[in-house]
Structure 1
């Protein structure tokens, strides 16, 4: 088992350092920087543990606890990644310092006094902290998706459905981590490290593919943004004029066929700001930008399904969808049937 632990740690060291370099090269946005730091620190921790692994009979319990307590100082980094995913731009320096101090303080007291009470206090704090942010994520993801529907006509590579899928895995790993902190057991350690590695493989893949929404959501996430303030002062006449321009874009120019259409594209085309455009869809059209655009796309696709023999993939592309999968999903939701069945029903 000892050699298996060495092998697992070796894999972890290589993977985490590789991911750190990959995300460092990706871009300069906060999410990538947070993942870069988290992967690098985790890799250093694994490297540190790799050199200090000993047979259980030689393991000094106090030193083992001290090393584990030091690792817990990085727990907030996981939360920061979650926060930046679910609520972009909401992390501040004050938030980072405060959260880190929550774990640095008990670690320092434990390192100075050697009193294991501080160690168990830090373990309990980390467990509560992890469960708390897990529960926060459950509510934050729908809120994030609601914001996307106000600004985007698509969800590919910007939604967080993938995070929901591995949410249960996170809870499982959290339980393993707590058990691992309370007892020095190679089997538990091997299971925890392997599970973490597998989950981070999937996480890294999805986070790397995740496209930035900062520019599009910037004014909606800041309460004092100029656009948000101006929108409340829009007159009925101005909103009516904006509505006419938007109708022209959709009816005459069929701008909805652009698969990457965003509110900012509409705002730029009619010479106004994004908040006015969002307000139009919310108040005048009585639906989100996402729903409005995709209803038009589906109606356009229905005409193609009936009037042509083109494949579903080609019709999805012509109708402004990024993939046939998203086309089928949206079509089924709106028409309560699949595109293939709809074509058959209409042509019979």
Structure 2
């Protein structure tokens, strides 16, 4: 009996510690012994679940930091590496404090939670580098980090709870500002892609939108968890963050090589080019026509504006100006119109399947070929072949 009371006492202490850790209301333990045992069993299971999830998070974030560090030396990879290291250290910190070695009061737990704010600007930096490569500066990084470090330091020194809620409010406003910024930056990024690339595979903005929405969701979950959290909500927050980051890391790792090309493409020339004269523009148009009609350069599935500029011996600015002003369309639309016309000749004169025709026409996938063909011709390639060219 003495041993049983001792075990129940330990469980009560563990349960109360867990509720302190999660900033919940004090536990009103059931009075009957059976109800108490059942209640404490549930709490123990919650504690084990939290240990398990935090362990998974620590392993995953440190592993991602290692993978992105090894991948390349681009700024995006370095930002993700730092972000993964910071989040991993935060999870490790929380994992250590879960262990019931001492009870901490409300203010102490607020300090532990408020230290997580240093990761918030890193989310924004990653989004900036994705939507606007090469625009992030060291000065911007320092200023944005100081915006969150200063309130944390003041809260740590003064223990004035107003600084804690100021951090939460600042995180909310910061997130809303970048929500508005991204609403304009992503379409602008999309337009830049169509000016410089003839394909959308591995660079379409669906994954960027998903990443952006994921960042917003994680920020909202963190704010809610900081203001009022129960142990169930803590598990939900950590599990959701882990799943979201699995999706984010997969897409970033998969698409980074394309972002490297975009990084180079969006760099401005060292010396801004003057506007091309009418004669120069006419000559550029003649050379581009030769490339498309004679050399069939559009069959290159990874064709970019820089490839055209190199082939005709001019700069990207003049080439882009030719498509935008003379042809009144984007580089992407111009190239894919040529590809579709070539595909029509293959559909009329060969028995090759759709996948093969897509490949021969310069498309990276049959899905993109069918999508572009249907948009320009109004019918699918299969229907076109069945009905004939008329």
**TM-score, with length taken from structure 2:** 0.84
1:168/1:274 CA distance change after superposition, 3 Å: closer
CA contact (8 A) 2:130 2:208 kept: no
SS at match of 1:226: coil
2:182 pairs, out of 105, 113, 137, with 137
Answer whether contact 2:123 2:215 (CA < 8 A) is retained: no
Matches within 5 A, 1:154-233: 154-165=199-210, 167-210=212-255, 211=258, 212=260, 213-219=262-268, 225-227=269-271, 229-230=272-273, 232-233=274-275
Match of 1:240 in 2: 282
- Stretches of structure 2 that go unaligned for 5 or more consecutive residues are 1-45
- 1:312 paired to 2:354: yes
1:326 aligns with 2:376: no
Per-residue CA deviations over 1:271-298 (Å, capped at 9, x if unaligned) read 1111111111111111111110000001
- CA offset at residue 136 of structure 1? 1.8
Alignment check: 8 A CA contact 1:21 1:36 kept: yes
Tell me the SS of whatever aligns to 2:134.
coil
1:28 corresponds in structure 2 to 73
Question: CA-to-partner distance for each residue in 1:184-208, whole Å, 9 max, x for gaps?
Answer: 4211111111111111111111111
Instruction: From 74, 82, 90, give the equivalent of 2:127.
Output: 82
In structure 2, the residue matched to 1:51 is: 96
Which string of whole-angstrom CA distances, capped at 9 and with x for unpartnered residues, describes residues 255-311 of structure 1? 000000011111111111111111111111111111100000011111111222211
- Residue 73 of structure 1 aligns to a residue whose secondary structure is helix
Q: Is the 8 A contact 1:107 1:119 kept in 2?
A: yes
Residue from 110, 126, 139 that aligns with 1:65: 110
The answer on 1:114 being equivalent to 2:156 is no
Could you say what the CA RMSD is over the residues aligned between the two structures, in angstroms? 1.7
Whole-Å separation in 2 of the counterparts to 1:298 and 1:334: 8
Match of 1:222 in 2: none
Q: Which stretch of the first structure deviates more once superposed, 338-347 or 210-219?
A: 338-347
Identify which of 277, 285, 289 aligns with 2:319. 277
Partner of 2:31 in structure 1? none
1:92 pairs with 2:141: no
- Displacement of 1:59 in angstroms is 4.5
| Residue equivalent to 1:150 | 195
> Offset at 1:245?
0.7
Distance 2:377 2:139 in 1: 48
Determine the C-alpha separation between the residues in 2 that align with 1:261 and 1:167: 28
Count of matched residue positions in the alignment of Structure 1 and Structure 2: 341
CA distance in 2, matches of 1:130, 1:42: 18
Check whether the contact 1:154–1:260 (CA below 8 A) recurs between aligned residues: yes
- Residue 169 of structure 1 and its aligned partner are, at CA, apart by 4.2
Counterparts of 2:381 and 2:286, CA distance in 1: 32
1:313-335 Cα shifts (integer Å, max 9, x gaps): 10000000011111111112211
Distance 2:88 2:298 in 1: 45
Q: Which residue of 2 aligns with 1:102?
A: 147
Q: 1:6 Cα deviation (Å)? A: 0.7
Q: Which moved more, 1:75-84 or 1:209-218?
A: 209-218
Secondary structure of the structure 1 residue equivalent to 2:388: helix
Q: CA deviation at 1:164?
A: 2.1
| Equivalent residue, structure 1, for 2:22 | none
| Residue 381 of structure 2 corresponds to residue 345 of structure 1 | no
Question: How far apart, CA to CA, are the structure 1 residues paired with 2:371 and 2:148?
Answer: 44
- Determine if contact 2:127/2:212 at 8 Å carries over to the other structure: no
Provide TM-score, normalisation by structure 1. Answer: 0.94
| Alpha-carbon distance between aligned partners in 2 of 1:25 and 1:329, rounded to the nearest angstrom | 36
CA distance in 1, matches of 2:353, 2:64: 39
Check conservation: 2:306, 2:316, Cα contact below 8 A: yes
Displacement after TM superposition at 1:175 (Å): 2.4
DSSP 3-state at the match of 1:107: helix
